[in-house]
């Protein structure tokens, strides 16, 4: 087994492919992380305060979330990538394992994102769409941008994260699904779409009400997840897996309110899409002919760096940069401009032979780049243009006066090699094989950790095998649990038993919260509406708190009271209510959860009537929650 893994990894390390999709993956991963941090900033009092707004236990949490957001932004743009991605990993570890996010506000994808982040530490994801790649170019300002070769990486940088993060997850998940009656009936995608707490505002009843279609979708998901690990690497089948996988996770994003999980999974398909599709897309998006020609002073380091920077962001190749000393004389439209004047400004000619100079050139560059056109038009606005022209002339004229000496000499940029470069971008075959042996052992360990998790919870737990019968089996079970805790916390390898029968069976009632306003009328908190749906932005980890912990088939009264307290305090204060003077009503509605197909079940569950089953009244920092009867009897 070890020799097979080692030989496969070594062959993959030597096979070089474009780095484009890997850079795109890093960018999207950073955006998913950033949106989750913004979510945490919005709900920080609900999630981290023992009593929202009234008892703030973590006063610095806002500062650390903002710091994390800056780090995530660095990951997005690829700035000082190695440092920022390690810092990002540390933040995931700390917030997921040492704050209330760990138990009460599980996002459903936290461990998955932690594992993906761990892989990114060792991946060369800074080779494309990154500021670091630009910094490497700026270190050699007199090398024309056309002389830079497109960066490449080993194919292993694509295949290994897909196998470990997607393939293992799918395979583990399908093992659990085989024990769930609604999945065996082909209704794994149908049931969550009928439950009010899990659906988005998009009404998908027209699809949910077609039984045969739902069963086709359900069985397709099972086959897809079971076979993904073994067949996704086959070139002819890859796009089939891409289409099914993308459709699956897009449906989660749009139809369910656990969109962060959908986005977190979806971004991995940037690594699965065949390279030929990226080439075709690039050919389609790239300009056939440059729409603007820009002339610059090739002897000036500052001008060269400016050109390298502008070209780096010209992703559609709409601008052609030429040195004025060599090419300006070939353009009649520039003949009236003497050489000295030409070298003090950036000049440009568009397709209609219209000339531009100075700030007008920069405005045209932004406009011609397409995606930055808005900033180009803003730069042309009166006032903005004249202010920019003032500062531009100070810089340009200063460079001309100093004859491009001290004003142009910029300190050379030093880029430290990433872990990937240090380990695998080596010319010595012996060193490469040594590093490959280490990598093979790590991959083998990851496989064993996933196998431990799948056997322990996917088989032993599901078959209800008693592991406490003998001291030896009890010790093995304890060791297995410890390994799962370790692998889940640091590598994201954990059981993926999501939305199975043990979650939905008996889920026949839901709760909501209203309040009595100053006019004596009953109003709904901006949390759960009259249909029973959780309103935006109460999705993701807030939905998980309420639908997976507070209100479950077997409701724990202590936990329910805790989260009623949190929700009424957070949304009450956020809605401008005086807590001490407001009475909150606990409403209940009966719903149906079925592992067999029921026509129009979504609309039935959304249209039921509500009954008041309790009240919540605040007195300073204490809340008195009274229920009409024991919650288990409701």
Q: Regarding the domain delimited by 287-401, which CATH topology (the fold level of the hierarchy) does it fall under?
A: Glutaredoxin (3.40.30)
What pLDDT, on the 0 to 100 scale, is given for residue 336?
A: 63
What pLDDT, on the 0 to 100 scale, is given for residue 103?
A: 82
* Euclidean distance between CA atoms 478 and 474, whole angstroms: 6
Which parts of the chain register pLDDT below 70? 146-147, 333-344, 397-415, 466-469, 629-634
Contact criterion met (CB below 8 Å) for 92 and 114? yes
What pLDDT, on the 0 to 100 scale, is given for residue 340?
A: 60
Torsion 400-402-406-409 (CA) sign: positive
Bridge partners (DSSP) of residue 586 are 513, 614
pTM above the 0.75 mark? yes
Selection from 46, 39, 89, 84 nearest residue 65 by Cα: 39
What pLDDT, on the 0 to 100 scale, is given for residue 407?
A: 46
Summarised one tens digit per residue, pLDDT across range 460-474 is 777 777 666 678 777
Bridge partners (DSSP) of residue 585 are 514, 615
Q: How many residues does the chain have?
A: 634
Summarised one tens digit per residue, pLDDT across range 603-623 is 999 998 999 999 999 999 999
Per domain, the residue ranges of the chain are 20-150, 287-401, 501-633
The torsion defined by the Cα of 260, 263, 268 and 271, in degrees rounded to 10, comes to -150
Torsion 509-513-514-516 (CA) sign: positive
């Amino acid at each position: 087994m070890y020799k097979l893994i080692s030989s496969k990894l070594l062959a993959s390390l030597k096979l070089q492919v474009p780095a484009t999709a890997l850079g795109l993956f890093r960018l999207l991963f950073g955006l998913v992380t950033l949106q989750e941090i913004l979510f945490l900033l919005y709900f920080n009092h609900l999630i981290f305060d023992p009593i929202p707004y009234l008892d703030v236990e973590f006063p610095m949490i806002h500062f650390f979330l903002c710091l994390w957001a800056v780090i995530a932004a660095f990951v997005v743009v690829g700035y000082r990538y190695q440092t920022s991605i390690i810092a990002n990993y540390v933040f995931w570890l700390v917030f997921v394992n040492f704050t209330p996010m760990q138990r009460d506000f599980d996002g459903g994808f936290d461990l998955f994102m932690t594992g993906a982040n761990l892989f990114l530490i060792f991946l060369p994801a800074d080779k494309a769409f990154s500021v670091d790649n630009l910094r490497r170019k700026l270190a050699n300002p007199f090398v024309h941008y056309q002389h830079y070769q497109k960066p490449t990486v080993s194919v292993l940088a694509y295949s290994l994260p897909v196998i470990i993060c997607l393939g293992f997850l799918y395979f583990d998940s399908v093992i659990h699904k085989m024990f769930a009656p609604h999945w065996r009936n082909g209704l794994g995608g149908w049931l969550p779409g009928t439950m009010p707490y899990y659906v988005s505002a998009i009404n998908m009843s027209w699809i949910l009400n077609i039984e045969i279609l739902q069963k086709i979708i359900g069985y397709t998901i099972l086959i897809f997840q079971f076979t993904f690990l073994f067949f996704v690497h086959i070139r002819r089948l890859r796009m089939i897996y891409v289409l099914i996988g993308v459709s699956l996770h897009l449906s989660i994003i749009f139809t369910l309110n656990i969109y962060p999980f959908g986005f977190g999974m979806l971004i991995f398909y940037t690594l699965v899409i065949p390279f030929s599709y990226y080439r075709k897309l690039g050919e389609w998006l790239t300009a056939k002919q440059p729409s603007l020609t820009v002339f610059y002073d090739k002897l000036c380091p500052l001008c060269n760096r400016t050109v390298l920077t502008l070209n780096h962001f010209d992703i559609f190749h709409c601008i052609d940069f030429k040195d004025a000393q060599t090419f300006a004389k070939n353009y009649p439209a520039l003949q009236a401009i003497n050489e000295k004047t030409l070298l003090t400004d950036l000049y440009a000619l568009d397709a209609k032979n219209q000339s531009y100079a100075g700030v007008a050139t920069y405005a045209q560059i932004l406009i011609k780049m397409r995606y930055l056109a808005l900033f180009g038009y803003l730069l042309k606005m009166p006032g903005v243009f004249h202010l920019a022209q003032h500062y531009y002339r100070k810089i340009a004229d200063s460079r001309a006066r100093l004859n491009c000496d001290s004003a142009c000499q910029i300190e050379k940029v030093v880029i430290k090699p990433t872990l990937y470069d240090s380990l695998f971008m080596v010319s010595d075959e012996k060193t490469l094989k040594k590093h490959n042996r280490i990598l093979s052992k790590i991959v083998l360990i990851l496989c064993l950790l996933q196998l431990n998790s799948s056997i322990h919870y996917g088989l032993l737990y599901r078959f209800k095998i008693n592991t406490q019968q003998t001291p030896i089996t009890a010790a093995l079970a304890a060791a297995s649990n410890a390994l799962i805790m370790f692998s889940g916390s640091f590598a994201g390898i954990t059981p993926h038993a999501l939305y199975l029968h043990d979650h939905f069976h008996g889920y026949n009632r839901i709760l909501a919260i209203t309040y009595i306003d100053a006019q004596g009328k009953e109003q709904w908190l901006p949390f759960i509406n009259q249909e029973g749906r959780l309103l935006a932005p109460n999705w993701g980890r807030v939905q998980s708190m309420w639908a997976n912990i507070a209100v479950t088939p077997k409701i724990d009264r202590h936990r329910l009271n805790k989260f009623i307290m949190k929700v009424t305090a957070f949304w009450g204060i956020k809605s401008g209510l005086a807590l001490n003077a407001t009475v909150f009503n606990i409403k209940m509605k009966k719903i149906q959860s079925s592992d067999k197909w029921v026509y129009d079940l979504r609309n039935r569950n959304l249209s039921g009537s509500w009954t008041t089953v309790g009240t919540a009244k605040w007195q300073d920092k204490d809340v008195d929650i009274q229920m009409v009867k024991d919650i288990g009897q409701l």
